[in-house]
């Protein structure tokens, strides 16, 4: 069975600075997807970024980028030029190609942004 681990329950960053959230996972599969979701206080789950395991190039979405290390099974999220609106809970998630689209989530990292 696959597992996802986020070892940082809380992180803090100064506005306009850069922060990196860590995620590791365990799987025996070679093809899969990895995701970062943002959950603000509204509770809404918002997809931030997605990475296909077969792609060597790291995904980027504006100020958000990932460092995907397949051999090390590591998938970190970097937020550049942090903004107050980035404050939220962030979840790392894994999805297999062949298991009905089920998402396996990490424990989450609560990010606070200081003005």
Partner 1 sequence: NAGVTQTPKFQVLKTGQSMTLQCAQDMNHNSMYWYRQDPGMGLRLIYYSASEGTTDKGEVPNGYNVSRLNKREFSLRLESAAPSQTSVYFCASRMTGMNTEAFFGQGTRLTVV
Q: Which residues bind partner 1 (CB under 8 A)?
A: 4, 6, 9, 35, 42-45, 47, 50, 52, 91, 97, 100-108
Q: Which CB sits closer to partner 1, 18 or 99? A: 99
Q: Which residues 6+ apart lie within 8 Å of 78 measured at CB?
A: 18, 19, 20, 21, 64, 65, 66, 67
What is d(CA 4, CA 25) in angstroms, rounded to the nearest whole number?
4
Q: What's the closest the beta carbon of residue 103 comes to partner 1, in angstroms?
A: 6
Q: What's the closest the beta carbon of residue 48 comes to partner 1, in angstroms?
A: 11
Q: What's the closest the beta carbon of residue 15 comes to partner 1, in angstroms?
A: 27
Phi, psi of 83 (to 5 degrees): -120, 160
């Amino acid at each position: 069975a696959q597992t996802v681990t986020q070892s940082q329950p809380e992180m803090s960053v100064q506005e306009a600075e850069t922060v990196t959230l860590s995620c590791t996972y365990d799987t025996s599969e070679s093809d899969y997807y990895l995701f970062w979701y943002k959950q603000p206080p509204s509770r809404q789950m918002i997809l931030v970024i997605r990475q296909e395991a077969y792609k060597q190039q790291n995904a980027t979405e504006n100020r958000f980028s990932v460092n995907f290390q397949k051999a090390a099974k590591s998938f970190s999220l970097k937020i550049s030029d942090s903004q107050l609106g980035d404050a939220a809970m962030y979840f790392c998630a894994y999805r297999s190609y062949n298991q009905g689209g089920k998402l396996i989530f990490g424990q989450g990292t609560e990010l606070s942004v200081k003005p």
